[in-house]
Amino acid sequence: MARIRFQLDYSRGQRQVVTQFAVERLIAVDPAGESLVQVAFREGDDGRSAAAAITASGRLVVMVAEQQQGLLGPGERRERQYELTADFDDSTELAEVGKATQVLLDGRIRQLLVGTEQGRVYEWRLGAVEQAPAFVGHIAVSEVAVSALGYALGEVSLVVGDAAGHVSTWFKVEENGQRSYRKIHTFAPHASAVTHIASSTRDKQFITTDAEGAIALHHLTSEQTAFQLRDDSPVTALVFAPKADGFLALGKDGWLRRFALDHPHPEISAAVLFGSIWYEGYGGREYVWQSTGGTDEFEPKLSLVPLILGTAKGTLYALLFALPLAILAAIYTAEFASPRVQGLVKPSVEVMASLPSVILGFLAGLWLAPLLESHLLGTLLLLPAVPTVVIAAAWGWQYAPEAWVRQVARVGEIYLLGAVTLLVAWLAYALGPVFEDLAFDGHFLRWLRQDAGVGYDQRNCLVVGFAMGFAVVPLVFTICEDALSSVPSHLRAGSLALGATPWQTAIKVVLPMALPGIFSASMIGLGRAIGETMIVLMATGNTPIMDWNIFNGMRTISANIAVELPEAPHQGTLYRVLFLSGLLLFMVTFFINSLAEIVRQRLRDKYNRL
């Protein structure tokens, strides 16, 4: 075993890197002394090392060693050799010359992989020095001979090259309670047998070469082959630069060739951003956003689909709360409310628009979210109860005594309706625990998780819907009320003169005329909800998940930019992806606002012709 050291030398007045090459010791892999055809050697940080080799006669031998640390220096070195030929099954006896073609050891000295001419990869588990390697099993990876084996960064994915030039990656997936290798990615093939595999120590890139001298650069996650070039001579040795900015290839002609590499963002493609990817350690293809991890071997997951879904989810639930409330309130204020009520309602709603979204998010996260969790069933009862009671009260008001109607009309029906609404809300929250005891054994959340199979997070989309709804309501209400008030008064007068009731006039005459303005207000409210940041950031768990459950959180594009951008390396891949997501958000909101402006312009032209 030889060790290479690099030292800095300033003796000549300038900085020079001096390379020192020293042979530390000789390792006896095969006690029989037979020549070795293929050799793999790994040394761990804990003093353990291992070497595996295929001899000229086709025998598979393994050496396992452990260097113990003494009190004052190096201690005893234990070393032992094993022959694993007998572990092969009858169909692929290693005793036949050339049956084993490749050997590979992992960095933890825990696993030995051997490729064969039959296209199989055999696996052994390595333990202590005194323990013989335990045979685990084998998998069929190709129909032809395995000509190259290697690990991608992190040693989770196994890179396999065969004699037909095919390149694929495998990693273990749990199936039926057992973990076994499964083919995950395939890459552009070579024209001849794959001879070498070199993996980057910086990312998930790896280089493959073939017998004709072709060199190809691949990326594991994106499943892309960046380029294929042909060297003047077949490659006999290959190594990736530590910074992944180049690689060295030793040709069969004895020349060492240095290649510069400028490939700063290999992990990004349209499929990675918008498609499902089978990531390392996952059971199948998924849409995942996870930009950073705890180790350098982490595989970045930069799918924008969970962020797009989270944005759509938050917007949908916010508009389900805001649009009916704002539009119906605008219709009442413009068509039915007395001037006194109009003078009170409209300024109050417009003042709501001045509330900073960070305050709404703060209140939603720290006050509303715990309140909804403790009174969830009462809230769910409240949502259908209030509209039902309001409609029933409006219907019953038609049959109220005339004296009551005149007396209440002096004050305003809205105050009576407000009192009824508050009473219904109190009853819903008061009856919530009673209904919970009768129907759900006293614990609705437990029933929701265990029986219904629906998870519940305290900061969820329901909280966001309420909080973001309060941010959207003033905007939609103001525009809708202006659109309704802009309808010419002679249309109302003509409808009433023909015998229509105020309700019929509002629904059949005023509302169709104001419909473009209402649509425009809805589009602007949609754009406001899509771009909301602080409410979503503070009122949800901010977890990028693929779930439409209203009781779970989400992460929107705008909130993701606010969280990730301060920590993103300048001009790095994550940095650029965040700007791409911001551009996508801008394009969506620009389209929505442009559509709303077109509708407003048509509405203005229509009024000018009346």
Residue type, 395: W
Together in a domain, 251 and 341: no
- Over 90: is that where the pLDDT of 183 sits? yes
The CATH number for 226's domain is 2.130.10.10
Q: How confident is the model at residue 72 (pLDDT cuts 50, 70, 90)?
A: low
Higher pLDDT, residue 599 or 274: 274
**365-404 pLDDT tens trace:** 889 888 888 888 888 888 888 888 888 887 877 777 777 7
Q: Per the structure, how many domains does the chain have? A: 3
Domain for residue 201, yes or no? yes
Domain for residue 124, yes or no? no
How big is the chain, counted in residues?
610
| Closest of 28, 88, 89, 91 to residue 60, by C-alpha | 88
Together in a domain, 294 and 315: no
Question: Could you say which of 300, 325, 350 is where a domain stops?
Answer: 300
Range from 33-47, 282-296, 409-423 carrying the lowest mean pLDDT: 409-423
Together in a domain, 280 and 384: no
Question: Helix 573-608 and helix 557-564: axis angle, to 10°?
Answer: 140
- Over 50: is that where the pLDDT of 412 sits? yes
- At 161 the pLDDT is 94
User: How far is Cα 405 from Cα 397, in angstroms, rounded to an integer?
Assistant: 8
**461-487 pLDDT tens trace:** 889 888 888 889 999 999 898 888 888
What is the maximum alpha-carbon separation in the chain? 116
The CATH number for 403's domain is 1.10.3720.10
Together in a domain, 324 and 262: no
User: How far is Cα 461 from Cα 318, in angstroms, rounded to an integer?
Assistant: 9
The answer to whether the beta carbons of residues 546 and 306 sit under 8 Å apart is yes
**255-287 pLDDT tens trace:** 888 999 998 899 999 999 999 999 998 988 999
Range of the domain at 439: 305-608
**148-182 pLDDT tens trace:** 999 999 999 999 999 999 999 999 998 888 888 99
Spacing of C-alpha 211 from chain mean position: 39
Together in a domain, 286 and 235: yes
Can you read off the two tokens belonging to residue 150?
A: 């290697």
